[in-house]
């Protein structure tokens, strides 16, 4: 089940229980206490008073957890959300096991679960690393680089990316990548952003004739160009599927001890 949905439900349930206690159950406890005090001479002993005034355990838990859950929901929905990289499609920029932070307001504020935009704060730009809901299965989050904006003409042939008929500049930076033998690392300049990509000369890779990006949609590609399930295979990403812009790696964990040596801002 979608974690955002679970979080929204938890906030709603704890908030409702706490509100019911404020407007109804708390008054009933106080009334029972006042009635008991009126039936005895003097004051009730502390144990009896505590028992009559004690909050039921659901109310106690709701009062304790609601503020925490609400803060987490607001931060996660409108400020920043953590994600873990599950595949190598964005190598060498992101590796399997990297934990990233995603800015949730770069492209506008969206309601949790339904993902409806309520405040427009900006649009994706070429070169951005973007998290989005996979169009074929919105319950799954993908992360790729924005390559094509609405109206752009995109082509990919012989391991060369073309945007609006112009080849995107790239240059070799490593003839044999350390973590990917046989692959060559390039520096590509896309939309003013210089970033690393992988290409394997021995792998024919995908070919794609020119397509035009429709209005309100985006063309996404992974930096590991020969091994990325991206828009070359399944098409465009609608604007309503956007989750946010990835801006930092804060931890790496691949099953051993967590490592913080790779903490960095992303380009």
Q: 109-110 and 160-163: which strand pairing? A: unpaired
CB 242 within 8 A of CB 103: no
Q: What is the pLDDT of residues 97-155, one digit of tens each?
A: 999 999 999 999 998 888 888 999 999 999 999 999 999 999 899 999 999 999 999 99
- Burial, 202: exposed, middle or buried (Cβ in 10 Å; 0-12, 13-18, 19+)? exposed
Catalytic residue among 38, 77, 87, 89: 89
Hey, is 238 helix, strand or coil?
strand
**pTM for this entry:** 0.84
Examine the residue annotation and report whether 159 is marked as an active-site residue of this protein: no
Tell me which of 77, 104, 144, 159 is the catalytic residue: 144
Peptide bond into 102 cis (omega under 30): no
Q: Is 59 helix (H, G, I), strand (E, B) or coil?
A: helix
**Active site includes 89?**
yes
Sort strands 208-212 and 193-199 into parallel, antiparallel or unpaired.
Answer: unpaired
Q: Range with the lowest mean pLDDT among 130-134, 178-182, 260-264?
A: 178-182
């Amino acid at each position: 089940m979608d974690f955002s949905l679970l979080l929204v439900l938890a906030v709603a349930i704890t908030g409702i229980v706490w509100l019911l206690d404020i407007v109804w159950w708390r008054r009933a406890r106080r009334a029972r206490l006042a009635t008991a005090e009126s039936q005895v001479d003097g004051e009730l002993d502390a144990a009896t008073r505590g028992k009559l005034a004690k909050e039921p355990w659901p109310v106690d838990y709701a009062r304790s957890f609601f503020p925490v859950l609400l803060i987490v929901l607001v931060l996660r929905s409108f400020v920043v959300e953590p994600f873990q990289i599950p595949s190598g499609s964005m190598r060498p920029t992101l590796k399997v096991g990297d934990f990233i932070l995603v800015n949730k307001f770069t492209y506008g504020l969206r309601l949790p679960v339904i993902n409806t935009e309520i405040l427009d704060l900006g649009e994706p730009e070429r070169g951005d690393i973007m998290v989005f809901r996979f169009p074929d299965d919105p319950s799954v989050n993908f992360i790729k680089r924005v390559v094509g904006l609405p109206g752009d003409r995109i082509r990919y042939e012989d391991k060369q990316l073309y945007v609006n008929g112009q080849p995107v500049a790239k240059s070799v930076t490593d003839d044999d990548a350390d973590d990917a033998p046989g692959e060559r690392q390039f520096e590509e300049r896309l939309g003013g952003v210089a970033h690393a990509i992988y290409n394997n000369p021995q792998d024919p890779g995908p070919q794609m004739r020119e397509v035009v990006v429709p209005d309100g949609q985006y063309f996404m590609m992974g930096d590991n160009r020969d091994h990325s399930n991206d828009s070359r295979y399944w098409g465009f990403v609608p604007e309503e599927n956007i989750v946010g812009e990835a801006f930092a790696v804060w931890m790496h964990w691949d099953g051993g001890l967590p490592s913080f040596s790779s903490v960095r801002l992303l380009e």
